[in-house]
Amino acid sequence: MVVAELLALAALAAGGYFLLAGGRRLRTVVHILRNDPLPVRDLHGHRGPVEIEGRAVAGDDGTVEAPFTGSRCLAYTYAVEELRSQGSGDGWETVDSGMGGVDFVVDDGTGRVVVDPSGADIHLESHSVTVPAGTELPDRLADYVAATDGVDPQNRTVNLLVTEINVGNKQRFTERRLDVGETVYVYGQATRGPAVEWGSNLVDALVGDGDGTPVFVIADTDERGTAWRIARGGIWRVVLGVAVVALVGVGALL
């Protein structure tokens, strides 16, 4: 009886987690769709929450190098996952992740504004490479694994004297990048930006994270595309959370 109650509590906790995570994503969608993006030229002197979209171009800081492909870009996230045994089956477990970027410029044809990507919830198209266990990694990925604590080579072996066995796991390397020239959508907080030269089409604002805005989002698509991309993740989490809580409720009635 005690075991059953503990399992029910664990299921309720998991259902609550999915409901909370999904609800946060759906609230972000509401914030995004509440207003339309502003023309960048209207950001002169603007302070507070703002939505903009346009073309992402390099600013004074240039570009950064993405870790898995070496591509030059403006912002990126990355994750390494391993396929591991998890109770009743196998599942992907994240063993390393991170993000990076530099200040870049959004150009919508009416003006240009600097964006600081630090602290953003970044939604970018993914580029994944899956490597089966026992397979030699491409050189760049092999160098990354060798230099990263917590990520083991998936082609490592154990010498049993009479034979060697492979003890590596299947791995998936996922990189998401905001490339130069891509469409970009930003919802963040506008503050006073760097001084601009006379005649420049760069506005005197800096868009980034801040207490005055409920979310800070950067995506490589337009407003509607960003909202749908985030909503999909929110919907399945809410549905799963409701299903788990409902199952626990039904079980308690039986």
Q: Tell me, what DSSP letter sits at residue 41?
A: G
pLDDT, mean over the chain:
83
- d(CA 70, CA 177) in angstroms, rounded, equals 11
pTM of the model: 0.80
The length of the chain is 254
DSSP codes of every residue in 106-143: EE-SS-EEEE--TT-EEE--EEEEEE-TTPPPPHHHHH
Longest CA–CA span in the chain (Å) reads 77
Task: Check residue 102 and give its pLDDT.
Answer: 97
Q: How confident is the model at residue 9 (pLDDT cuts 50, 70, 90)?
A: confident
pLDDT digits (tens, 9 = 90+) for 200-236: 788 989 999 988 888 899 999 988 878 888 877 667 6
Query: Quick check: 39 pLDDT over 90?
Result: yes
Are 231 and 29 contacting, i.e. CB atoms less than 8 angstroms apart?
yes
Place of tokens 């870009």: 73
Mean pLDDT of 186-195: 87
Stretch among 43-52, 72-81, 168-177, 224-233 having the lowest mean pLDDT: 224-233
Identity of the residue numbered 53: E
Tokens of 243: 């299903």
Q: Would you state the structure tokens that stand for residue 32, as one six-digit string?
A: 């995004």
Kindly state the tokens that stand for 220: 């490589």
In the predicted structure, residue 2 carries a pLDDT above the cut 70: no
